[in-house]
Chains A and B, each alone.
Chain A
Amino acid sequence: MNLRQLKQRFMLHLDPILLAGLGGFMFVSLLLLYSASDGSWMRVLSQFINFLVGFAVLWIVANMPLHYVMRAAIPMYVLGTILLIAVALFGEISHGARRWLNIGVATIQPSELMKFAVPLMMAWYFEKNEAALTLKNYFVASLLFILPVGLIVRQPDLGTSLLIGASGFYVLFLAGLSWRIIIGSSLAAIISAPFVWPMLHDYQRHRIMMLLDPSQDALGKGYHTIQGMIAVGSGGILGKGYLSGTQTHLDFLPERTTDFIFAVWSEEFGLLGNLLLMGLYIFVIGRGFIITANASTYFTRLMAGSITLTFFTYTFVNMGMVSGILPVVGVPLPLVSYGGTSILTLMLGFGVLMSIHTHQRLVKT
């Protein structure tokens, strides 16, 4: 096998278009982290390693035939659910939330695993019952995501439960959940809102209140939102220039390497930069939709659609909360925010997307 063949074999199950988009994100992430961390090469290097691990996982998953992936559905889902229950029982509390589980060698956050396991499990379930789908199947599928979401809401972790809930809903929606049920349950949700309100945690209620009027507690709960909006707004059309954001470099922006990294981008590169970054997201999401549209099986269609739409949801919620149209719920900017777990889960998803695309291409030819 010569070098060219080796390269061919290596690239066999990768989608070059999607890969280019992901590489673009790596570039953006490293560039931005250097600024957001005030020139910390350690931070950049650490994120670079996160990406390398992420790409490795992506390559492995992409090369996996899909029935391997499907076979992992039940074990992953069951393990994830057990871990979530374990967190609820003996998880470690940090910053007022019980999200982490100490398993001796490391502290893990099982909800991250569920971001992938929930849509996988649901897609597998629909595939299994494809022959004769009844209302009962939709009901069971709903339970499959409502159970973990419920556990995660209790931790409390609004951001993650929102994303997992969304990914589950996308599977239901794409699987053909009847419009009557969608509209009916939406109405029910609106009507029940006043009853859910008192059940929310204080910090969640505060965050929602702050969304409505962040200025009422400018130094307290509304601080994140206000400083984020100032960073975005003061960026103007062209931005203040790379490494020149005052909100960023004078510490006004909280969590600027993680959840609020988009504000750094906005401040330094302005509206023009935002259009560019959004273009990159649209490019990747668009590619995801194309893969979804071309997916050949029920399972792959549901899985690809859910992964793509969840990725979009990530993006929308993060940009929305930084620019002040959504409450601050703690969702990172996908593939840009600092953090290994989030990159790993996302790359896992993109690996599945590539596998879906390349394996069926092979089948066709």
Chain B
Amino acid sequence: MTRKIELKDHQREIYFFRLRLFLSIGFTAAMLFILLLRFFYLQVMRSDYYETMAESNRIYVVPIVPNRGIITDRHGVVLARNYAGYTLEVSPEKIGDMNKVIDEIGKLVEIKPKDLRRFNKLMAERRSLQTLPIRTHLTDEEVARFAAQRYRFPGVEIKARLFREYPYTDITSHLLGYIGRINQQEIDVLDTANLAENYQGSDYIGKTGIEQSYEKEMHGVTGFEQVEVDAGGRAVRMLSRTPPQSGKNLMLTLDAKLQQVAVEAFGNYRGALVAIDPNNGEVLAFVSKPGYDPNLFIDGIDTESWDALNNSPEVPLNNRAIRGQYPMGSTIKPFMALAALHYGIRSPTATISDPGYYTLPGSSHQYRDWKKDGHGRVDMFKSIQVSCDTYYYGLATDLGIDRMHEFLDLFGFGKKTGIDLEGEVSGLLPSTAWKMARYKQIWYPGDTVSAGIGQGYHLVTPLQLAFATATLANDGVAYRPHLVKEIQHSPNETQPEQQPLFDLHIPPDQLALVKSAMVAVTQPGGTAVGASAGAPYSIAGKTGTAQVVAIKQGEKYDARKVSEFNRDHAWFIAFAPADKPRIALAVLVENGGHGGTTAAPIARKVMDYYLLGKLPQPSLAVAGKNAAGRD
């Protein structure tokens, strides 16, 4: 009996155990089924998605930055070039304690306070995922030293890349501009222009000057390499490669040597000079003094150098040639003479008697001539030769401001010339309508009187004046001033010929009169008497003075009494040879006083070099001192 019960219990126990075991097997089967469903989901339903993920894991598209085009002058002298060098670049995302890492790097590679300041500035304006140079131009020894310790610095690497260099530094600064690191604003612009893809991997973009306006041509087309990478981001092998296309080289119209002569001719003066070949609009020299060293800007300028440039009273960063606006002074006179002939309000032979001042009818206010006792009898020729103010006071009054506006507009005053540089300003050519719009005032007859000698509201840029001079020199046929002569192209491509911008159809007799008077300016009896002394070619020119501060009635301007920055600006426009001009230019010397004294000698050196290949002699510098009085 007992045995039976025991046996029964045993069977019962086995039964219960088998039940539990059966449940366990069921549980196991259910769980394994869940796994199977999961595999089915991942490997069948979602396999495309995960395949893509695996591909994007392993394949990196590495941009290959194209070499930037180089810039040469018209004779092939290199003005902007690339050279290979090493930088030490930091990826801030991968670095925890930046200061500590920089300290550590500093033990291997010298990091100057200047580098650190520049780096901090770059940090402040960086875009995400960008690497930043902590040091540039590493020596071979520094590269070797860092490479040996590289494992200690994740997120810091040595990069070999091309550096931009401007060998002429401040001589060509305003014209070439510079490249610099791309900022967020420029990224946005590239994005909207659908160019962002071509800038993958590019750290630099043209910021000003030629570098900016020919960015598209010089940047080139970015190449791509598809690389298989491992999880550490190391390239394992290359899958495909689209080579980059180097940027195009530019040949400028500029003559580097001429440019250098022009810059040096300024000495310590500030100012601007633009020299143009009147036959085609090629800019031969383009000076804005003082310049600056564009090389400083490439990898981000340090704060100290930036402040020095930015706060200098000489404003070296201002491109005076296209952004400086000055009254044109007496350089307006040849154009006024042409206007008078055009509208027929003066005959060339008609004379006035110049008592040394001009009064408007019914007014006692005296508009003084620069020569206190006057020039005596003055006709149109003499009015230019001696720069008679009184003659033009009356001429302007008879002409009226609106006809002045109409005629001067033809020469391109008051509007941009369209030179291939960004940032050109349009100057100001006043009219009655302009004054009403601008000041809500009517135009007074007195305004016209001073406008007649290029003072008052009328403002020009040195480039505009050079352009107008070139147009005059070329008998009214104008070419757009331009700095780039040739963009590198394949032999079978032809570059378009320069077409004239407009032709003013000025009657030859009118041109002959004005041009001969301008030749007389540079000869004995003219206001720039020394300008052509000893020159084997003839020079047509005109001096001018732009007032910086107004002189009170009855007071006499005395350069010694006014502070340096308030002295008059000196102008000189010229073209040569006068009968068949090959060069036309405008020179502005800020606070230079007499155009004949300070500006004309600069023009002479430039023309001598360009036409004769003659380098300036030290003795030539004093030639202008003999000028007959001022203006």
Contacts and interface: CB of A to CB of B under 8 A. Distances in A.
A236 B35 contact: no
A90 to B, nearest CB: 33
B50 A270 contact: no
A111 to B, nearest CB: 24
B565 interface: no
B57 A252 contact: yes
Contact of B39 (A173, A232, A247, A316): A232
A233 B21 contact: no
A323 interface: yes
Interface string B336-362: 000000000000000000000000000
A78 interface: no
Contacts of A274: 39, 43
Given A170-B24, A247-B54, A250-B58, A236 B43 contact: yes
B306 interface: no
A321 B229 CA distance: 26
Nearest to B45: A233
A176 B230 contact: no
Interface centre among B24, B40, B43, B44 (most CB of A within 10 A): B43
A244 B51 CA distance: 13
Contacts of B229: 250
Interface centre among B35, B36, B44, B46 (most CB of A within 10 A): B35
A212 interface: no
B10 to A, nearest CB: 10
A71 B13 CA distance: 24
B30 to A, nearest CB: 10
Interface in A265-298: 266, 270-271, 274-275, 278, 281-282, 285, 289, 292-293, 298
B20 A174 contact: yes
Interface centre among A230, A281, A292 (most CB of B within 10 A): A230
B491 interface: no
A274 B42 CA distance: 12
Given A251-B231, A271-B40, A278-B35, A236 B47 contact: yes
Given A173-B20, A173-B24, A176-B16, A320 B35 contact: yes
A232 B44 CA distance: 10
A250 B35 contact: no
Given A316-B32, A316-B35, A229 B21 contact: no
Interface in B42-70: 42-44, 46-47, 49-51, 53-55, 57-58
A282 B32 contact: yes
Interface string A224-262: 000101111111110000000011001110000000000
A8 B286 CA distance: 105
B17 interface: yes
Given A246-B57, A251-B230, A316-B32, A289 B42 contact: no
Nearest to B14: A301
Nearest to B54: A234
Given A252-B58, A293-B21, A301-B17, A285 B28 contact: yes
A305 B27 CA distance: 13
A229 B16 CA distance: 41
A234 B232 CA distance: 20
Nearest to A240: B54
A236 B47 CA distance: 5
B7 interface: no
B228 to A, nearest CB: 7
B353 to A, nearest CB: 91
Contacts of A298: 13
Nearest to A245: B54
Contacts of B612: none
Contact of B44 (A174, A237, A266, A319): A237
A232 B43 contact: yes
Contacts of B47: 233-237
B18 interface: yes
Interface string B481-500: 00000000000000000000
Contact of A271 (B31, B44, B55, B58): B44
A236 B51 contact: yes
Contacts of A158: none
B16 A312 contact: no
A298 B232 CA distance: 55
B39 A230 contact: no
B236 interface: yes
Given A233-B50, A250-B58, A312-B28, A305 B230 contact: no
A309 B57 contact: no
A270 B43 contact: yes
B38 interface: yes
B228 A305 contact: no
A325 interface: yes
A281 B40 CA distance: 18
Given A173-B24, A271-B39, A230 B50 contact: yes
B21 A247 contact: no
Contacts of A301: 17
Given A320-B35, A323-B39, A234 B230 contact: no
A247 B47 CA distance: 14
14 contacts: A231-B54, A233-B50, A233-B51, A234-B47, A234-B50, A236-B44, A246-B58, A246-B228, A247-B57, A266-B43, A270-B43, A298-B13, A316-B32, A324-B38
Interface of B: 13, 16-18, 20-21, 24-25, 28, 31-32, 34-36, 38-40, 42-44, 46-47, 49-51, 53-55, 57-58, 228-232, 236
Given A247-B54, A252-B230, A325-B35, 18 more contacts: A229-B50, A230-B50, A231-B54, A233-B51, A234-B47, A236-B51, A250-B57, A250-B229, A250-B230, A251-B230, A275-B36, A278-B32, A278-B35, A293-B18, A293-B21, A312-B32, A323-B42, A325-B34
**Closest 9 pairs between A and B when the two form their complex, measured CB to CB:** A233-B50, A234-B54, A251-B231, A233-B42, A251-B230, A271-B43, A250-B230, A236-B47, A234-B50
